[in-house]
Amino acid sequence: MSDLWGDPPREPAPPPIELRHYDPIQPKSGLRELLRKLLAPFIAVGILLAKFKFLIFALFKLKFAATALSMFVSVGAYALFFGWWFAVGAVLLIFVHEMGHVIELRRQGVPASAPLFIPFVGASIGMRGLPDDAWREARVGLAGPVVGSLGAAACWLAGVQLDSDLLRALAYWGFLINLFNLIPFLPLDGGRAVAALHPAVWGIGLLALIGFVVIAPNPILLLILLLGGFEVWRRWKQRHEPQYAGYYKVTAAQRLAIAVTYFGLAATLALAMYELRNIPH
């Protein structure tokens, strides 16, 4: 039968083993990948600095170099976890918050430096001395959250107009950091504000921070608790010394103004965060 009909079709023979293409999977170093991800934002920042070096030189002349460079570093650090656009918006909101302090300090005649940004901590302002009394210090402390909250509210309004989840997320984050800063414990803004009410309110802030540390342990919270604890203890012991006794003398009208602003702002921020969380997506 095979002579009559021919052999049945055969499958092509596989190529010899030695001719087959073999491309083994190269294992990637986990450490190398981690380093690449960690360094990528900073490399990008370096490229930006190289491209805009003329701007950096101008900033040096304007004495804002430290602020600008620390902002770039903070953006790179936040971008590791939240993405570039959110990182830029977050740092700008911190800048708005800190400028509230700077404006009020300079309005009171207290020399203050431009903000210096610290990744995952926020920013700090150098002061050459303290305001004259607890009333003025409270105003400085509240100026940051008030102005910062206005910046977050602007993000919310823009997010509604543009239907942008990014801007709404930035608004929520802005409300959160300003509310956190109202915890009545030094060196947070709330600690400076409640000094005009009564230094004993610092004890409430201490209990709140300890609760946060127990519920959600965090090195930043521990740092605030440690540094703030020393500062609160120092100021508590000194409050009756002659050179400090007059510092905490606040009129009833001033105390009422601080209380209304402090508790009113805290309630407004909590309500704004609640509303943002319940917006349907």
Q: What is the mean pLDDT of each run of 10 residues along the chain (281 residues)?
A: 46 52 46 51 48 47 66 81 87 90 85 76 71 85 93 92 90 93 90 88 88 83 84 81 76 92 95 83 55
178, 100 in Cβ contact below 8 A? no
Residue 39 and residue 137: Cα distance in Å, rounded? 40
Predicted pLDDT of residue 48: 45
Predicted pLDDT of residue 97: 92
Give kind and range of the element (H or E) at residue 122: strand 122-124
Neighbours of 83 (CB within 10 A): 12
Predicted pLDDT of residue 26: 44
Predicted pLDDT of residue 275: 87
Region of 162 on the Ramachandran plot (φ > 0 left; ψ -120 to 50 alpha; else beta): alpha
Predicted pLDDT of residue 69: 79
Residue 88 and residue 170: Cα distance in Å, rounded? 10
Alpha carbon separation from 58 to 52, 53, 62, 109, 233 (Å, rounded):
10, 9, 6, 27, 43
- The percent helix, strand, coil of the chain (3-state, each to 5) is 70, 5, 25
Tokens of 67: 């602020």
Query: Three-state DSSP class for 176?
Result: helix
Predicted pLDDT of residue 33: 56
Predicted pLDDT of residue 28: 46
For residue 47, the Cα-to-chain-centroid distance in whole angstroms is 24
Residue 77 and residue 44: Cα distance in Å, rounded? 12
Counting Cβ atoms within 10 Å, is residue 191 exposed (0-12), middle (13-18) or buried (19+)? buried
In one-letter notation, the amino acid at residue 88 is V
Predicted pLDDT of residue 146: 95
Please provide the distance, in angstroms rounded to a whole number, between the alpha carbons at the two ends of the chain.
74
